[in-house]
Amino acid sequence: MLRIATEGAYPPFNYVDDDGALAGFDVDIAWALCAVIEVDCVLVAEPWNSIIDGLVEQRYDAIVASMSVTEERKRQVAFTDKYYSTPMRFVAKRDSFLRMEEVTEQAIGAQAETTSFDYLQDGHPFGENLHAFETMEEAYAALLAGEVAAVLTDSLVAWDFLKSDPGQAFSFVGDPIYTDTEIAIAVRKEDEALRQDINRAITLLIIDGTYQEINQKYFPFSIY
């Protein structure tokens, strides 16, 4: 039995649907990988801020949760090959900023303990203007309420928000930020055999077209 963790609060990649079940691109990829590896799997939801701890503590065996590959995380876990890529983008009210510099003068936010938040903290003097949110759902709620003027997140996650009804008044601001853009699956460092099995399964999903089918279910363009 392979236990896989995802967050369940990061649509369209992972979220809880109307029936209370985990759904999204990450979830579909996880089930497809299990089918290729031919192993029974259980998916569990884990808060983002404890998801690596849960893996290290052996509460589950892998993380399929849109996790960027970073040097800091590589000190704690091992990563498979990428299963998609995404740059970061700022999202703000449409036409609210004429210059990118104006974004940094306002209250801005990002999901805590993500590469987006780390980017904003690293060398950017936002001070009290920088807000951390436990989930992207909370970040978008603050954006809609005007509590922050902009949020920074993965562009593909933002794309899902922008095409929603509440997101129609918002748009991308500035250029894409290409930092830690590769997304991979995390396993424990000692589980090299599992890492290799997942790598082979990712390759097979691409070769047989399953990956492309899942991709098209959520995005009208390739995210690989």
Is 99 in the same domain as 38?
no
Is 95 in the same domain as 39?
no
pLDDT at 75: 97
Q: Which of 70, 83, 79 is nearest to 187 (CA)?
A: 79
Is 115 in the same domain as 52?
no
- pTM of the predicted model as reported, rounded to 2 decimal places: 0.86
Is 99 in the same domain as 150?
yes
Is residue 224 one of the residues assigned to a domain?
no
Is 113 in the same domain as 167?
yes
pLDDT at 125: 66
Determine the structural domain holding residue 63 and report its residue range.
2-85+181-218
pLDDT at 100: 65
Is residue 132 one of the residues assigned to a domain?
yes
pLDDT at 129: 87
pLDDT at 99: 67
Q: Which tokens in the block code for residue 110?
A: 């990002």
Is 32 in the same domain as 73?
yes
Is 8 in the same domain as 69?
yes
CATH code of the domain covering residue 164: 3.40.190.10
Q: Which of 196, 222, 195 is nearest to 209 (CA)?
A: 222
Number of structural domains in the chain: 2
Is residue 169 one of the residues assigned to a domain?
yes
What are the average pLDDT values for consecutive 10-residue runs of the chain, which has 224 residues? 97 96 98 98 97 98 97 97 95 79 82 92 77 95 95 93 95 87 97 98 98 97 94
pLDDT at 98: 59
Is 123 in the same domain as 61?
no
pLDDT at 175: 87
Is 33 in the same domain as 19?
yes
Is 55 in the same domain as 104?
no
pLDDT at 2: 98
Burial string for 27-37 (b: 16+ CB within 10 Å, else e) reads: bbbbebbbebe
Is residue 223 one of the residues assigned to a domain?
no
Is 124 in the same domain as 165?
yes
58 burial type by CB count under 10 A (0-12 exposed, 13-18 middle, 19+ buried): exposed
